[in-house]
Chain A
């Protein structure tokens, strides 16, 4: 039982390049999330997927797209990377909606640098 896994762990991109961050969970959770964490700030929600087949914008969605490939996998795509997207990205999952008191489990993070 690996929990939430993310690939890659580190990535360096040049401005304008594209890439996809991968996330998978093996807990049969319905809901999945993408956050970014910047120094001195709290984690901010980029996109979430309440259940398989649905995705919704979070607090900071500009410059990102997501795909809920199946119940296990939720990917985050940067179409044209910008230096402002330099951050640590965390994927998370929960059995159901967080307002219902369900635990949220986080992956180990992807550290992305855009030069």
Chain B
């Protein structure tokens, strides 16, 4: 069954600290993996898109990694800010179409 599992479900960190969010997937055949940020009451916004051959991709303080062999991805946030408080969603696409499989997300709270 095609699934995307994210951990932890929620996380609280202090402003300025780093954190890493995990995404494990069983989707096959794999096309690409995306990370989104979703602020409360808003639609998701794309952070990174990685294909099978990419190991790392950065977007400012956000760095995503992908291990296609173990079917794992992580999103590392450096020097967190209060505005990083949001849900972070991992999405995997199967080859050949439009059908996306979304993880349930990790809810991040950054405290001053």
A interface residues (Cβ-Cβ under 8 A, vs B): 4, 31, 33, 40-45, 48, 50, 56, 58-59, 90, 92, 97-99, 101, 103-109
Contacts and interface: CB of A to CB of B under 8 A. Distances in A.
Contacts of B105: 42
Given A42-B89, A98-B32, A99-B32, 6 more contacts: A44-B102, A48-B98, A92-B43, A97-B97, A98-B93, A98-B98
Interface residues of B, number: 27
Interface of B: 4, 31-32, 34, 41-46, 49, 51, 89, 91, 93-105
Contacts of A44: 102
Contacts of A59: 99
Contacts of B96: 99
B43 A109 contact: yes
Contact of A101 (B32, B42, B98, B103): B32
Nearest to A111: B41
Q: What are the 6 tightest A-B residue pairs by CB atom distance, in nearest-first order?
A: A42-B102, A106-B43, A99-B31, A43-B102, A42-B104, A48-B98
